[in-house]
């Protein structure tokens, strides 16, 4: 990214991240959101700390184009947390879209007239790509989550059958379940 949008994002990065963080945590129930915003100790609030760090890295990604794999590594922790908390896909990945609104609000607040439409359009495209990557990450997390649950169920049934004397010893199939 180059030009006025990059300069603007670099100058307003801290404010944009703070507003974005607030929007993300506001997707949680009110008491959780309040805790995530107020608790600054990373040991007491690992979700808040992880979210802030990842949002910062995502902004850095937008400023200095990095690989898709690098972006996945920054989206993954946030998405992973949201996927195990039963956020629907639209809410789990949709937080990325908050960034468009925040940037536009900041541009209006700063009365920035230097930004060209094509620069803003390019930024929008990058953010749209991030949403799609976030959705892919969510799908992988949910797939892993369901596989773990299926394996746990298989192991429970096997152990119940073993206790009931319906199976004896370890079979090859049981070894594969571990």
Q: Report the CATH fold assignment for 4-138.
A: Globin-like (1.10.490)
| Rg of the chain taking only CA atoms, in angstroms | 21
Model pTM score: 0.77
Q: Are 57 and 74 in contact (CB under 8 A)?
A: yes
* Residue 61 burial (CB count, 10 A): 20
What are the two backbone dihedrals, phi and then psi, of residue 146, each rounded to the nearest 5 degrees?
Answer: -70, -35
pLDDT in tens, the chain (178 residues): 567 788 888 999 999 999 999 999 999 999 999 999 999 998 999 999 999 999 999 998 888 877 778 889 999 999 999 988 878 999 999 999 999 999 999 888 877 666 677 888 888 999 999 999 999 999 998 888 878 878 887 888 778 777 777 776 655 555 555 5
Q: What are the domain boundaries of the chain?
A: 4-138
DSSP of 128-148: HHHHHHHHHHHHHHHHHHHHH
Rounded Cα distance, 14 and 60, in Å: 11
From 94, 97, 67, select the one nearest 83 (Cα to Cα): 94
Q: Are 164 and 107 in contact (CB under 8 A)?
A: no
| Tens digits of residue pLDDT in 110-133 | 776 666 778 888 889 999 999 999
From 120, 122, 86, 118, select the one nearest 103 (Cα to Cα): 120
Question: What's the pLDDT score for residue 6?
Answer: 85
């Amino acid at each position: 990214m180059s030009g006025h949008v990059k300069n603007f994002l670099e100058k307003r990065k801290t404010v944009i991240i703070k507003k974005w963080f607030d929007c993300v945590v506001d997707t949680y129930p009110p008491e959780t959101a309040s805790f995530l915003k107020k608790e600054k100790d990373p040991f007491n609030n690992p979700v808040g700390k992880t979210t802030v760090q990842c949002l910062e890295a995502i902004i850095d990604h937008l400023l200095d184009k990095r690989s898709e794999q690098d972006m996945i590594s920054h989206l993954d922790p946030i998405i992973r947390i949201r996927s195990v908390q039963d956020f629907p896909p639209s809410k789990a990945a949709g937080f990325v879209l908050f960034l468009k609104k925040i940037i536009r609000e900041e541009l209006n607040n700063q009365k920035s007239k230097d930004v060209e439409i094509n620069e803003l359009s390019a930024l929008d495209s990058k953010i749209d790509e991030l949403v799609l990557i976030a959705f892919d990450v969510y799908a992988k997390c949910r797939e892993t989550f369901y596989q773990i649950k299926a394996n746990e169920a298989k192991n429970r049934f096997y152990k119940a059958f073993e206790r009931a004397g319906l199976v004896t010893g370890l079979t090859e199939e049981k070894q594969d379940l571990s």
